[in-house]
Copies of this chain bind each other. A is one copy, B any other.
Amino acid sequence: MEGMLLGIVLVISLLGLFTAFLLARWILSKSTGSEAMQKISNAIKEGAEAFLRTQNRTIILLAAAFAAILFIGYGVVRGHKEFDPVGAMQLAGWITVSFISGAVCSMIAGYVGMWVSIRANIRTATAAMTSLNDALRIALRGGAVSGLLVVSLSLLGVGGLYAMVSLISDIDPTKIPLLIVGYGFGASFVALFAQLGGGIYTKAADVGADLVGKVEAGIPEDDPRNPAVIADLVGDNVGDCAGRGADLFESTAAENIGAMILGASLASLADKTPGMGFSMGVIGVMMFPLVARAFGIIASIVGIVMVKMDKEEKIDPMQALNRGYYIAVVLAMIGFGFCTRWLLHSPGAPNAWLYFYACGVIGVLTSVAFVFITQYYTEYKYRPVKSIANASVTGPATNIIAGVGVGLECVAVPVLVMGAALLSSYYLGKSSGLPAAGLFGTAVATMGMLSTAAFILAMDTFGPITDNAGGIVEMSEQPESVRVKTDRLDAVGNTTKALTKGYAIGSAALAAFLLFQAYMDEVRQYAGLAADHPFPVDLSKPVVFVGGLIGAGLVFLFSAFAIRAVGSAAEAIIAEVRRQYKDLKRENDMIIFPKDFKPDYGACVDIVTKAALRKMVTPGLLAVLTPIVVGILFRVFKDEANPLIAAEAVAGLLMVGTIVGIVMALFLNNSGGAWDNAKKFIETGALGGKYLTVNGKKIKNPTHGAAVVGDTVGDPFKDTAGPSLHVLIKLLSTITLVLAPLFI
């Protein structure tokens, strides 16, 4: 039984990796176009690879130090405790090995995914010269390599570690997830730094390029005369592609392990209730998350391969992507139903699997709801973005006030949707007829939501590939007809990037609830309490309340560091570009470029690489160390009545931190997206467009200038701090999962 299920999981994840390999080979076989295009693409490639290599070196150093601390902390300082599943050294060994595996797999997935993306961009650009359909497919399949790598590798890691522990040691299989929780933490650790470093890089370059390029010099985006433009294009890859990949890698890894822990304790309880045991036993329930995810990979592969446009290329590329997505969703839901019936069936509660299946459907519906809400708040068809654009008429200050207003407002509906999803899946689980199955219901909802993660991630990485393709076409001065094609793809890419962020925060919220239930379960196990022993996280206790306060403060301080890093790095870029432009002539406030003007791209790439690496360390360490310090220091408050008070305070920190992190991320992502599109709306010609003609002279439209200020402020919100908060939320969960024994 165990062997067969593990076999299915491992074979399907290898299949996913093999498919990624085939897709990559298919992409690399495509034409790379003219020399001019290659020159630009190579510059992007060099910059991106150099940054990722340097970044990974820093991360490896930090991770190695942390692995050593973990090993010593568990093996030597803490020593063996009564309820540990294995001896101290063995516990320390497995936790450290799984941490390192998680970190290494995440880095590999990120690096290889980006390696393919920065090769797919020029091929997309070249294909766009002949066929939009070919360009679309190259870009999506380039993204799919990332998507499949991330999801398959995370599944392979969890499955493989489980198999290793099961082969080498002979402990109770339901305890194995406790030994491999380090995998999720390793993945979060890498994701945090990757997202922070990449996010700072991409937005410092973008803000710098925009402010001097568009606003001061009056040249278009991606103009080759802007010295910061290559850094900007590199940023799309290291931020959106490598960063988001690491983010979703850890989501799926952590959620798999968390759901296994919850599943094991649910099934053990059911087994103890006469007649309630599951048909496929405890192992079946525990393996359910992995098997369901494996079926999701197959569904995503089919969906990706099915994406194509009709011969005349009349349909919207978004429509083609949506068709593929719907295919993937339907297939995933069929597979999910099959898995629930197979592995979650209990003769004592014959309809229980149907209730769980309904939870999975709720998860999918929640992700759809998040996508629609994100669209409403960030697309210029709707009121919010229009109100920002209108406020730009009275200048940058009212533009900012309106944008902040929209960002703060957009939190309300997602909060209600999340609440409804949590409560309905909880009560569905509870009504299933099985004992204490409510929390497992919320876990199944999360699995439903994440079942098409590979497809979503493919659409996300599609964004930077098409963005880069557009940049290459623009900079190599291709004919207008080609630009029109890449612009169409680029617009779709912007939409998919925004949607993925909605999806990522929704899944982070559901996954977080699952993960902190797993944390509480783990605390109970290590403290020798029964799985149904009450362990409330009582916010009315001063110590727990203070834990919650610290969690809220952490989210704010972390965001401050992320945003400020972008601000100061951008200022350095602006100073550099101004230096390069200093001696050029101006007319009507716009620069007149000499024909032979050659900007120094390398200087900007260097500045931003160094700044991003330097600035990612403080917020990263802050996030990692805060829960540890609280958990260890607050042990002084232990007394007879509250032996677990430190673990409880950490839970308070975790839960309040998660709530604040979610609403803050929604605020940052959506206000940023709304500002961006308010500017784009004006650039379509609304409210005067980019330029006005006054007394026969072409002058910059101040309304557009105000909107650019908002767009710029939104950049670090939506692409640095916001996405980093997704990772922070999950890091808090995984770090507490791994270190729970130290807080007891």
Query: A interface vs B, CB < 8 Å?
Result: 207, 211, 215, 391, 394-398, 400-402, 404-409, 411-412, 415-416, 418-419, 422-423, 426, 438-439, 442, 513, 516-517, 520, 535-543, 545-546, 548-550, 552-553, 556-557, 559-561, 563-564, 566-567, 570-571, 574-575, 637, 651-652, 655-656, 659-660, 662-663, 667, 708-709, 712-713, 716
Q: For the complex, what is the distance from the CA of A571 to the CA of B422, rounded to whole Å? A: 41
Query: Main SS of chain A's interface residues?
Result: helix
Contact B571 A659 (CB under 8 A): no
Contact B408 A557 (CB under 8 A): yes
Contacts of A211 in B (CB 8 A): 394-395, 397-398
Determine how close the nearest CB of chain B comes to the CB of A333; give it in whole angstroms. Answer: 24
Q: For the complex, what is the distance from the CA of A79 to the CA of B457, rounded to whole Å? A: 57
* Interface CB pairs A-B, < 8 A, 22: A394-B575, A395-B709, A396-B396, A397-B709, A401-B570, A404-B560, A408-B563, A409-B556, A411-B553, A412-B556, A415-B553, A416-B553, A418-B546, A419-B550, A423-B637, A442-B542, A536-B540, A537-B539, A537-B540, A539-B548, A549-B663, A552-B662
Determine how close the nearest CB of chain B comes to the CB of A397; give it in whole angstroms. Answer: 4
Determine how close the nearest CB of chain B comes to the CB of A152; give it in whole angstroms. Answer: 32
Contacts of A396 in B (CB 8 A): 396-397, 709
Q: Which residue of B lies closest to A547 (CB)?
A: B419
Tell me the number of copies of this protein.
2
Contact A520 B540 (CB under 8 A): yes
Determine how close the nearest CB of chain B comes to the CB of A98; give it in whole angstroms. Answer: 25
Contact B545 A513 (CB under 8 A): yes
Contact B545 A401 (CB under 8 A): no
Contact A408 B559 (CB under 8 A): yes
Contacts of A651 in B (CB 8 A): 539-540
Contact A402 B564 (CB under 8 A): yes
Contacts of A418 in B (CB 8 A): 546, 549
Given known A-B contacts A422-B542, A423-B543, A556-B412, A567 and B405 have beta carbons under 8 A apart: yes
Q: Which 8 A-B pairs have the closest CB atoms?
A: A415-B553, A408-B560, A536-B538, A405-B564, A397-B712, A409-B560, A419-B546, A401-B567
Looking at A402, A541, A545, the one whose CB has the most chain B CB atoms below 10 A away is A545
Contact B542 A438 (CB under 8 A): yes
Contacts of A411 in B (CB 8 A): 552-553, 556-557, 560
Contact A552 B663 (CB under 8 A): yes
Looking at A394, A516, A550, A713, the one whose CB has the most chain B CB atoms below 10 A away is A394
Contact A395 B215 (CB under 8 A): yes
Contacts of A560 in B (CB 8 A): 404-409, 411
Q: For the complex, what is the distance from the CA of A652 to the CA of B542, rounded to whole Å? A: 14
Contacts of A542 in B (CB 8 A): 422-423, 426, 438-439, 442, 513
Contacts of A550 in B (CB 8 A): 415-416, 419
Q: For the complex, what is the distance from the CA of A331 to the CA of B569, rounded to whole Å? A: 52
Given known A-B contacts A513-B545, A545-B513, A539 and B405 have beta carbons under 8 A apart: no
Q: Which residue of B lies closest to A397 (CB)?
A: B712
Contact B556 A667 (CB under 8 A): yes
Contact B552 A415 (CB under 8 A): yes
Contact B656 A564 (CB under 8 A): no
Q: Which residue of B lies closest to A556 (CB)?
A: B411
Q: For the complex, what is the distance from the CA of A708 to the CA of B438, rounded to whole Å? A: 54
Interface residue from B391, B407, B575, B652 paired with A571 (Cβ < 8 Å):
B391
